[in-house]
Amino acid sequence: MHPDWDIRIRKGAMKLFRIFFTGILISFLGTLPLGTLNVAAMQISVTDGVRPAIYFSLGCLLVEIVYVRLSLVAMDWIRKQKAIFRWLEWITLLIIVALAVSSFIAATSKHPRGNVILSNTLPRFWLGVTMSAINPVQIPFWFGWSTILYAKNVLKPRMDNYNSYIGGIGIGTFIGNAIFIFGGQLLVDKLNTNQRILHWVIGIIFSITALIQLWRMMKHKDAVQKL
């Protein structure tokens, strides 16, 4: 192999690894703040077990990857869909409120049970797909980061760059969700925490999330304004 080719291959590989690692880092850190999906994954882990929670997270992950792909190749189209995102935000708010109410109902029930929304008969994978699909927050998040990476010349409009970026995002999101999934199990198994108390805590988290969502929508600091 010609020495120049070898150098180019090495540089190309390092470039792709940098993009891959950047995707992991951004996605992982973006998953850590309390939100609808990661808290839902934690509650499913507590009430139904680790495997259903992982299926739920994989469903969320699949939709996130699709949204990232769209944000990379259809930025102009996404900017024009503000009416759709506005409706999705109201639907998301209603779901968060319903999750909070369901958690409080589970907490006050005489017999411990799961959240009636998260513990329904719908397979957890498809529940994750559905909840992630109508959550518009992640779209401007990745829209913004992709724009920054383009401007910094970290990311280029090439298939190999996109694949590395999306692969890193998938791994980062899964690791972040795993912290909530196994963290919930740790609270139950190691600390002997009462599920009723956890339902109260999770209900409060959902309530705070709903209030923040409503405040952002009223103050025009929501996903629509970020596009």
CA distances from 29 to 39, 42, 64, 157, 177 (A): 15, 17, 15, 24, 11
- Alpha-carbon Rg of the chain, whole angstroms? 20
Q: Are 47 and 114 in contact (CB under 8 A)?
A: yes
Would you state the pLDDT for residue 211?
83
Give the number of domains in the chain: 1
Would you state the pLDDT for residue 177?
92
Would you state the pLDDT for residue 49?
84
Residues 6+ positions from 202 with CB-CB distance below 8 Å = 39, 42, 43, 103, 115
Give the domain extent around 180.
3-226
Q: Tens-of-pLDDT digits for all 227 residues of the chain?
A: 555 556 666 676 788 888 999 999 999 988 888 788 888 888 888 888 889 999 999 999 999 998 888 878 766 565 566 666 677 677 777 877 887 888 788 777 766 555 666 766 788 899 999 888 887 677 777 877 887 888 788 888 888 888 999 999 999 999 999 999 988 777 766 655 566 777 787 788 878 877 877 887 777 655 445 54
